[in-house]
Amino acid sequence: MNISLVRIDDRLIHGQVTTAWLRQYPAEVIFVIGDSVAANPFQKVVLQTTAPAGVTVEVMDTATAAAELIRRSQDSRNVALILTRPADIVHLVEQGIPIRSVNVGGMQPHTGSRQVAKSVSVDQADELAFRHLFEKGVELEIRMVPTDKKQDLAKILGFTR
């Protein structure tokens, strides 16, 4: 499958995704990836019930996502990956999934996190995961919608090569 978008957003699929991202980065399939969402049957049903027209939503944990992306590598459809934490992307990258750029859309504040942009708060584990991605050469950009100006998360977190 051709990965059209990799987005971190803990609200998962919402207006910014349906009215903006899917319009400018079209995808026929959305993988919603995360161990906790995959273990939540209610959330799974909500996501599938509200899938945008013409889009299939599949909810799965990180290990399954990596396996599925490899298994369906010959599938010609576009897939958008929506995740909640950067550590999950590290896992995918380590499994050999080709990810060159990560869009950071929204990470809610929680205990132990610090706010680094209007809608982005990271804790130490996130920061480590982002550093790992940065060192692998993955672009890390903050945008809520595609027409926003890209903010370089690596620069904000002070990563240097």
The catalytic site residues sit at 14
Q: How far apart are CA 77 and CA 126, in angstroms?
A: 30
Q: How far apart are CA 143 and CA 128, in angstroms?
A: 21
Indicate whether 52 belongs to the interface with another protein (CB under 8 A). Answer: yes
Indicate whether 142 belongs to the interface with another protein (CB under 8 A). Answer: no
Q: Is residue 78 helix, strand or coil?
A: strand
Residue from 111, 147, 158, 160 binding another protein (CB under 8 A): 147
Indicate whether 15 belongs to the interface with another protein (CB under 8 A). Answer: yes
Indicate whether 28 belongs to the interface with another protein (CB under 8 A). Answer: no
Q: Count the Cβ atoms, other than its own, within 10 Å of residue 109.
A: 13
Return the range that interacts with another protein (CB under 8 A); candidates 69-77, 96-104, 112-120, 126-134.
112-120
Q: Which residue bears the tokens 């996190």?
A: 113
**Residues in CB range of 158: below 8 A, 6 or more apart:** none
* Residues near another protein, by CB under 8 A: 11-20, 23-24, 40-50, 52-54, 106, 108-109, 115, 118-119, 144-149
